[in-house]
C-alpha cells in the first residue's frame, strides 16, 4: 500500500492535507520527516502508530499550532501554511485536543457560548448553535448549569465535542478522544464519531486505541518515527495479515477481525 499524493486526476480533493512536511522542535530536533497525509472528504481518517511516532505533532501542524520547516498544509485545495491557529475556524476546521481544555469554573452553557465568540454578535446564530449542541448531546442540556470541572471525564469530553461542533465545522481534528474516559462512555464517543461523516463532517482521528480507531475509520495511516510507514483503506488493512501483526506489537491486544 503506497502513500498517496495530495491530489490525483481521479481522487477527490482531500478535506485537509499535509504535503511533504518536516516539523522540528527547538530548531534541530525533527519530529516529522517528509510526512504526507490526507484527511479524506466525507470519511474518518485514522492515524495510528507507536508512542513517539509523531501523531499528535501531525495534528498540531494541521491546525497551525506548529509551523512546518518544510512542506505545506492545505484546507481543501488552498494552501494555508503559516496562518494563525484561530484562523482555521474561518476555514471550517475545529480541533479537540488530547488534554482537557474546558473552563472548569464556568458552567456547561457558558463553555458552549464561549465557543461562539467569533459570531457573538449574531444572537440568532448563537442560539441555533447552542440548540444543535444540546440536540446532539441531551446530557449536556440536562447539565447546562453545572460547572464543567464537576463533570466526569467522559462528560467533559462530550462537552468539548459539543463546543467544537457549535462552530459548524467541515473538518474535525480529534486527538485521543477517549483518553482517561471510562469504557462505557468511550464506546458512546466512538459511536458518535462514527456518525459524523453522515452529518457532513470529515474527521481526522489520532488514537492509541487501535481497535476502535480501525473500527470507525474509513482510511488509516500508520506513522513511525515521524514518517509515513504505510496507508490504505480499512479494507486494505483487513486483508494484510503482516500489517495486522505489526500493529499488534504496539498494543496489548490484537485488532478485531
pLDDT at 256: 44
Res 185: pLDDT: 86
pLDDT at 101: 86
Predicted TM-score (pTM) above 0.85: yes
Separation of CA 252 from chain center: 23
pLDDT at residue 208, as a whole number: 85
Grid cell locating 77: 485545495
**DSSP assignment of 93-154:** EEEE-SS----TTSBHHHHHHHHTGGGTT-HHHHHHHHHHHHHH-HHHHHTTTSBGGGS-HH
User: How many CB atoms are located within 10 Å of the residue 232 CB?
Assistant: 19
CA distance 164 to 95: 7
CA angle 97, 90, 104 (to 5 degrees): 35
Please give the domain boundaries of the chain with CATH numbers for all domains: 1-92+170-257 (3.40.50.300), 93-168 (no CATH)
Report the chain (257 residues): mean pLDDT per 10 consecutive residues.
Answer: 44 90 83 94 93 92 94 95 93 92 94 92 94 93 94 92 94 92 88 95 93 90 89 76 63 44
Q: CB of 197 within 8 A of CB of 228?
A: no
Contacts with 130 (C-beta within 8 Å, 6 or more apart), sequence order: 109, 112, 113, 116, 166
Give the three-class secondary structure for 90. Answer: helix
Beta bridge partners of 24: 30
Report how far residue 18's alpha carbon sits from residue 59's, in angstroms, rounded to the nearest whole number: 10
Q: List, in order, residues 6 or more apart from 233 with CB less than 8 Å away.
A: 218, 219, 220
Q: Is 5 left (phi over 0), alpha (psi -120 to 50) or beta?
A: beta
pLDDT score, position 26: 74
**pLDDT for the residue 166:** 92
The total number of residues shown for the chain amounts to 257
Amino acid at each position: 500500500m503506497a502513500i498517496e499524493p495530495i491530489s490525483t486526476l481521479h481522487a477527490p480533493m482531500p478535506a485537509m492535507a499535509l504535503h511533504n512536511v518536516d516539523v522540528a522542535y527547538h530548531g534541530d530536533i525533527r519530529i516529522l520527516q517528509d510526512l504526507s497525509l490526507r484527511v479524506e472528504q466525507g470519511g474518518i481518517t485514522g492515524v495510528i502508530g507507536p508512542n513517539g511516532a509523531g501523531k499528535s505533532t501531525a495534528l498540531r501542524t494541521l491546525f497551525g499550532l506548529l509551523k512546518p520547516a518544510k512542506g505545506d498544509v492545505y484546507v481543501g485545495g488552498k494552501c494555508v501554511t503559516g496562518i494563525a491557529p484561530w484562523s482555521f475556524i474561518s476555514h471550517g476546521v475545529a480541533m479537540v485536543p488530547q488534554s482537557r481544555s474546558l473552563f472548569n469554573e464556568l458552567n456547561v452553557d457558558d463553555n458552549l457560548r464561549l465557543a461562539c465568540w467569533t459570531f457573538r454578535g449574531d444572537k440568532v446564530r448563537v442560539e441555533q448553535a447552542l440548540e444543535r449542541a444540546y440536540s446532539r448531546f441531551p446530557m449536556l442540556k440536562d447539565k447546562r448549569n453545572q460547572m464543567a470541572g464537576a463533570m466526569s471525564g467522559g462528560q467533559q469530553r462530550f462537552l468539548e465535542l459539543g463546543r467544537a461542533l457549535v462552530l459548524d465545522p467541515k473538518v474535525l481534528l480529534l486527538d485521543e478522544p477517549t483518553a482517561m474516559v471510562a469504557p462505557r462512555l468511550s464506546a458512546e464517543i466512538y459511536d458518535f464519531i462514527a456518525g459524523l461523516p453522515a452529518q457532513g463532517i470529515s474527521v481526522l482521528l489520532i488514537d492509541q486505541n487501535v481497535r476502535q480507531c480501525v473500527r470507525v475509520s474509513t482510511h488509516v495511516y500508520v506513522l513511525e518515527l515521524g514518517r509515513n510507514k504505510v496507508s490504505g483503506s480499512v479494507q486494505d488493512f483487513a486483508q494484510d495479515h503482516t500489517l495486522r501483526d505489526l500493529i499488534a506489537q504496539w498494543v496489548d491486544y490484537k485488532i478485531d477481525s
